[in-house]
Amino acid sequence: MHHLTLAEISRALAAKQFSAVELSQALLARIQQLDPQLNSFITVTEDLALAQAKAADARRAAGETGALLGAPIGHKDLFCTEGVLTSCASKILDGFKAPYNATVVEKLAAAGSVTLGKLNMDEFAMGSANESSHYGPVKNPWDVTRVPGGSSGGSAAAVAARLLPAATGTDTGGSIRQPAALTNLTGIKPTYGRVSRWGMIAYASSLDQGGPLARTAEDCALLLAGMAGFDAKDSTSVDQPVDDYLAALNQPLAGLRIGLPKEYFGAGLDSRIADAVLAVVEELKKLGATVKDISLPNMQHAIPAYYVIAPAEASSNLSRFDGVRFGYRCENPKDLMDLYKRSRAEGFGEEVKRRIMVGTYALSAGYYDAYYLKAQKIRRLIKNDFVAAFHEVDVILGPTTPNPAWKLGAKNNDPVSAYLEDIYTITANLAGIPGLSMPAGFVDGLPVGVQLLAPYFQEGRLLNVAHQYQQVSDWHTRAPEGF
């Protein structure tokens, strides 16, 4: 059962090949048996899962249908789940049980999905390796001595290892697409504002966006359809109808104009990844696509701009964790100031503290214009590059990451080298456009991802291109040995 995709599960449940309860039990047993090798879960919600599965079976027996009815999923541990630990993988939220469900959690539960647990991540989503979690690093099922990517590393590892068919993630600078690439999954970061952020613990509010990770584009379409939509509780949510992502999958690609930005194939890219990505382009040409060389001239400034804007917003968002209202509190504080200082000093990890300090500095009087304001101007130039490019092409294609998964610990003493891994993904967040990563082959047995970018609200187009490619390729069907 664990090899089935969401779409296959939905058909099997409809055909009564097994029940949602049987499926959940099988996956819960698998999680118990295999997750100790990966550490992809922070919390396994067995009782909740069995209750939801039972309810889904009852709804089906009463004649209800629905692609997500009885579908087992997991949530990244920054989506608030009522009565269940929501830790953001941080000691500062250790023991915090959210009093309500995030909109995404609520919508997926209403559609009948079954929550098997909460997934590990980089602390407060800050990282590209899932090594900064208070609950320990996540391992890549393709090679357990390597990182799965981050920050949605638990979501990626669990889905890649067939512990779950699909999971939610969030993407601030690549946190869905980069781990998807490093673990042979398909993952989509929707347009900013497409998926509600209500109840999704904020990292960098102008960049954060939730989305699905799954093994196929079809499954991403199913899950995204359940997640997307206007939410009056999120002021950044966009009131625009959600496209029919499933219908979009089957559009032919004849005439599709693909842009290859020269900046995506320059220095720093592993040449074997470049070859795999260009092989995907050849396949897409066979499906009728045409290819054009384009340029995104301001891409070189994206990393410095992002690593000013994201920490600046984080320093503000994370000020709410003060030892009083949520989670961890230091022992025997001398006075209120001591309580704030020590709770934060003891509760936040290294990388989070680094970013709070960088962000506070960038926002401080006298430095604001030099750093934050300048970064915002770069952001506009990056957005303009995309707007210009999309006058000439329908989608932009390139590698998702410059390198395959690296060894655990390899970049721990050099945060900037980890930041550089985000080079191809963060521009989509700065511009707010949607981006998707899909499997494109292997380098030394390690998965490689290809990234597709599209204009605002064209998630359907991205899923369409990925699905059509997955009809003529089989990279996405490969499973890591031992899982």
Ligand X SMILES: NC(=O)C[C@H](N)C(=O)O
**Residues with catalytic function:** 76, 151, 175
Tell me whether strands 166-171 and 72-76 are parallel, antiparallel or unpaired.
parallel
Residue from the set 52, 87, 175, 451 that interacts with ligand X by CB under 6 A: 175
Which of residues 115 and 151 has its CB atom nearest to ligand X in the complex?
151
Tell me whether strands 446-453 and 395-399 are parallel, antiparallel or unpaired.
antiparallel
Whether 185 contacts 160, CB under 8 Å? yes
Stretch that binds ligand X, among 119-127, 239-247, 320-328, 446-454 (CB under 6 A): 119-127
Tell me the three-class secondary structure of 191-256, residue by residue.
CCCCECCCCECCCCCCCCEEEEEECCHHHHHHHHHHHECCCCCCCCCCCCCCCCHHHHHCCCCCCC
Coil, helix or strand at residue 418:
helix
> How is residue 351 written in tokens?
């990388």
| Interaction of residue 432 with ligand X, rule CB under 6 A | no
Q: What is the DSSP secondary structure assignment for residue 405, as one 8-state letter? A: P
Q: How far is the CB of 424 from ligand X (least distance, A)?
A: 12
Query: What is the phi-psi region of residue 307: left when phi exceeds 0, alpha when psi lies from -120 to 50, beta otherwise?
Result: alpha
The angle subtended at Cα 430 by Cα 429 and Cα 434, nearest 5°, is: 35
| Interaction of residue 6 with ligand X, rule CB under 6 A | no
Task: Tell me the C-alpha to C-alpha distance, in Å, between residue 38 and each of 2, 61, 136.
Answer: 17, 36, 10
| Interaction of residue 125 with ligand X, rule CB under 6 A | yes
| Interaction of residue 210 with ligand X, rule CB under 6 A | no
Q: How far is the CB of 110 from ligand X (least distance, A)?
A: 27
- How many chain residues are in contact with ligand X, going by CB under 6 A? 12
Which of residues 343 and 425 has its CB atom nearest to ligand X in the complex?
425
Q: Which helix (H) or strand (E) holds 290?
A: strand 290-294
x/- track of binding to ligand X for residues 410-429 (CB under 6 A): ------------x-------
| Interaction of residue 127 with ligand X, rule CB under 6 A | yes
Which of residues 125 and 318 has its CB atom nearest to ligand X in the complex?
125
Contacts to ligand X from residues 129-168, by CB under 6 A: 151
Which of residues 348 and 475 has its CB atom nearest to ligand X in the complex?
348
| Interaction of residue 174 with ligand X, rule CB under 6 A | yes
Alpha carbons 86 and 183: distance in angstroms, whole number: 24
Alpha carbons 164 and 34: distance in angstroms, whole number: 12
Which of residues 24 and 40 has its CB atom nearest to ligand X in the complex?
40
Which of residues 322 and 422 has its CB atom nearest to ligand X in the complex?
422
Which of residues 53 and 312 has its CB atom nearest to ligand X in the complex?
312
| Interaction of residue 173 with ligand X, rule CB under 6 A | yes
Q: What is the DSSP secondary structure assignment for residue 372, as one 8-state letter? A: I
| Interaction of residue 209 with ligand X, rule CB under 6 A | no
Q: How far is the CB of 280 from ligand X (least distance, A)?
A: 23
Stretch that binds ligand X, among 172-180, 227-235, 394-402, 447-455 (CB under 6 A): 172-180
The angle subtended at Cα 120 by Cα 476 and Cα 184, nearest 5°, is: 10
What's the distance, CA 430 to chain centroid? Answer: 16
Alpha carbons 194 and 180: distance in angstroms, whole number: 20
| Interaction of residue 128 with ligand X, rule CB under 6 A | yes
Alpha carbons 76 and 267: distance in angstroms, whole number: 33
Q: What is the DSSP secondary structure assignment for residue 137, as one 8-state letter? A: P
Q: What residue has token string 């511009």?
A: 431
Which of residues 88 and 393 has its CB atom nearest to ligand X in the complex?
88
| Interaction of residue 171 with ligand X, rule CB under 6 A | yes
| Interaction of residue 182 with ligand X, rule CB under 6 A | no
| Interaction of residue 123 with ligand X, rule CB under 6 A | no
Residue from the set 5, 90, 113, 172 that interacts with ligand X by CB under 6 A: 172
Q: How far is the CB of 175 from ligand X (least distance, A)?
A: 3
Whether 463 contacts 469, CB under 8 Å? no
Closest residue to ligand X in the complex (CB):
175
Q: How far is the CB of 456 from ligand X (least distance, A)?
A: 19
| Interaction of residue 126 with ligand X, rule CB under 6 A | yes
Which of residues 74 and 259 has its CB atom nearest to ligand X in the complex?
74
What residues form DSSP beta bridges with 399?
A: 450
x/- track of binding to ligand X for residues 300-339 (CB under 6 A): ----------x-----------------------------
> What separation, in Å, do the N-terminal and C-terminal C-alpha atoms of the chain show?
13
Q: How far is the CB of 311 from ligand X (least distance, A)?
A: 9
Q: How far is the CB of 177 from ligand X (least distance, A)?
A: 9
Task: Catalog residues that contact ligand X under the rule CB under 6 A.
Answer: 125-128, 151, 171-175, 310, 422
